[in-house]
Amino acid sequence: MKRYFSILLVLITTFFFAQIEDKKLDDLIKNTLTTFDVPGMSVGIIKDGKLIYAKGFGVASLTTKKPMNENTLVGIASNSKGFTATALAILVDEGKLNWEDKVSKFIPEFKMYDDYASQEITIKDLLTHRAGLGLGQGDLMFFPEGGTLSVQDIINNVKYLKPDYSFRDGMEYNNVLFIVAGEVIKRISGMEWADFIEQKILKPVGMNSSFGSYNRAKNISNKIDAHAPINGKSVQVPHDWNETANAAGGIMSNITDMAIWADCLMNNFTTKDGKKLVSDKQIQQLWQIQRPITVATKNPYDTHFYGYGLGWFLSDVKGQFQVQHTGGLIGTVTQFTLLPDMKLGIIVLTNQQSGAAFNTITNTVKDSYLGIEDRNWLKNYGERMTNYFAKMEQGKQKVFAESAAFAKDGKFPKENQYLGTYKDAWFGNVELKKESKTVRFYSKTSPRLKGTLLPYSADSFIVNFDDKSYDADVFITFIFDEKGNAASAKLKPISDVTDFSFDFEDLDLVRVK
C-alpha cells in the first residue's frame, strides 16, 4: 500500500510540475520574442517518445499576421545536413557506395584546388568540413537567394577555391561540399536530392507535412515569412532558397514533423512501423566524431569532447551525449537538439535570424532536465546581444562617417581608373558602372548583390548594398598598375556582423574590361 501511495504521489507531483513548467516556458518564449524582436517562434519538446510540448507563439508573418503554431512550416536550413548524411548512409547499406569511396568515382569531373585533394577526397570528406575549404567558402555561389549558378556550375567551380588549410588538417564549416554530396546521391540513385529525401526518409519516417525544398511548399499557406533587423527593427524580407543548395539546407518542416524525426533518431533510426532507416553500423558512423573541435576550458556544460560527425555536431553536456545542429537562412534560424540517452529532443524554429533566441529556449529547457538551476539565459543573452549589436552599430557608423569625411576632402581614384568588369574564377563577373552621379556595383551571377560605391580612402570604397537586410556592406580595395589603373580588387566586410556565407574575402577580382 505504501508503495502504491508513493507511485501516486510521484504521478501527482509530475502532473503539477508539468503544468507549472508549461506556463513558465510559455512566458519565457513570449519574453524571448520581445527581447530579440522575433515575430514568431515554434517550440517542441519530445521526451520518452511523447511530444509533451508543441506550441507556436507570435506571428508567422508581419504582413499577414497569421499566428505561428506547431504546424507552421519553416526552412530548417542546415538542419537538412543530417538528412543528406542519412541518405548517403542508406546508399551505403544498399551496397551502392562506401564512405571511403573517392568522389571522382561518382563525379569524374569534380576537382579540388590541388591535385592531391582532388584524387583523395572521399564521400566522408564531403560531410565533415575537413577538406581544406574555409568558413563558408564558396557560399556566394548560392547565397543570397536568386543566384544564377547551377549545381553543375558549383561542382565545376570548386577547383578554383584556394584552400585555407591543408587537406584533412583542420575544420571550417562549409556548405558547398554538401551540395556535391547531394549530387552524389542523384548520380547513384537517379533521383533528385529532394525526391530521394521525401521518398526514402520523410515519408517512411512519417514526416508527412515536410518538403524536400522550399519551392515544393509554395502552395502551402501555413508557413513563415522571413524577417531580419533593419535599423534595429525586424521587417519582412524575401524568403526563398536556391534549389542548387537543397542538400546543404533546403528542407521545409515544422515542430510536429521534426519531433517525429527526433523520435526516429533516438530510437536507433527506427520508423513508427518498426523499420530501420539505416543499420547500427551506419548510425555509428553518423554519430561518431570524424573531426574533433577544440573545447573551451571553461564552458557552461562541462563539455569534454566536441566535434563533427556526418551531418551532426556531437558533444557531451553534463555527462550526457548530445547530438545537435543549427540552421540559418536570411530571415530565419533553427535549432535541433537531442540527448539520446535521456530520450529528450528540443526543437526551436523561428522566423528571424537571432541565434540568441533559440539558444535561450534550448538551454533553459535542457537545464531543467539536467537538474541545473535556472541560469536566466534570457537575461544573459539579452545583455550580451545588446552590447554586441551596439558595438557593431558603432563600428559601422564610424566607417560611414570616415567615408563622408573623406568624400569631402580626400583624393580618391578617378572613375576611369577603376570602372569596368572584374572577374573572379568561381564567382563570375562583377561590374562597376557609372549611373547618373554614382558608381554602382552589380554581380552577374548574384543579381541581388547590387549597391552604390562610397569613397573611403586613396584606394578603397565602400559598397553600400541596396538590401540592408543582408547587413553585408563591404570595402572594395583596388590594386593599381604602373599606369594608375585598377588591375584587380579585393573585398572585405566592413563589420564582423556580416554572415560568414557572404564570403567576399575569398574573391580575387581581376579587371578584364
d(CA 126, CA 12): 51
pLDDT band at 245 (very low <50, low <70, confident <90, very high): very high
Is residue 144 reached through a cis peptide bond, with omega within 30 degrees of 0 on the bond before it? yes
Question: What pLDDT score does 111 carry?
Answer: 98
Are the C-beta atoms of residues 503 and 134 closer than 8 Å to each other? Answer: yes
Question: What pLDDT score does 232 carry?
Answer: 87
Residue-range domain boundaries for the chain: 2-375, 389-511
Average pLDDT of every residue of the chain:
94
Average pLDDT over residues 156-168: 97
Question: What pLDDT score does 409 carry?
Answer: 83
Average pLDDT over residues 420-426: 98
Closest CA to 142 of 178, 110, 117: 178
Q: What tens digit of pLDDT does each residue of 309-328 get?
A: 999 999 999 999 999 999 99
Adjacent-strand bridge partners of 478: 489
Architecture label for domain 2-375: 3-Layer(aba) Sandwich (3.40)
d(CA 89, CA 251): 18
Name residues whose C-beta falls within 8 Å of residue 270's C-beta, 6 or more positions apart in sequence.
264, 276, 277
Question: What pLDDT score does 6 carry?
Answer: 34
Question: What pLDDT score does 475 carry?
Answer: 98
Q: What tens digit of pLDDT does each residue of 123-137 get?
A: 999 999 999 999 999
Q: What tens digit of pLDDT does each residue of 259-296 get?
A: 999 999 999 999 988 999 999 999 999 999 999 999 99
pLDDT band at 212 (very low <50, low <70, confident <90, very high): very high
pLDDT band at 258 (very low <50, low <70, confident <90, very high): very high
Domain topology for 389-511: Lipocalin (2.40.128)
In sign, the C-alpha dihedral spanning 76, 135, 184, 289 is: negative
d(CA 466, CA 462): 12
Question: What pLDDT score does 242 carry?
Answer: 86
Question: What pLDDT score does 142 carry?
Answer: 95
Torsion of CA 306, 307, 311, 316, to 10 degrees: -20
Question: What pLDDT score does 5 carry?
Answer: 30
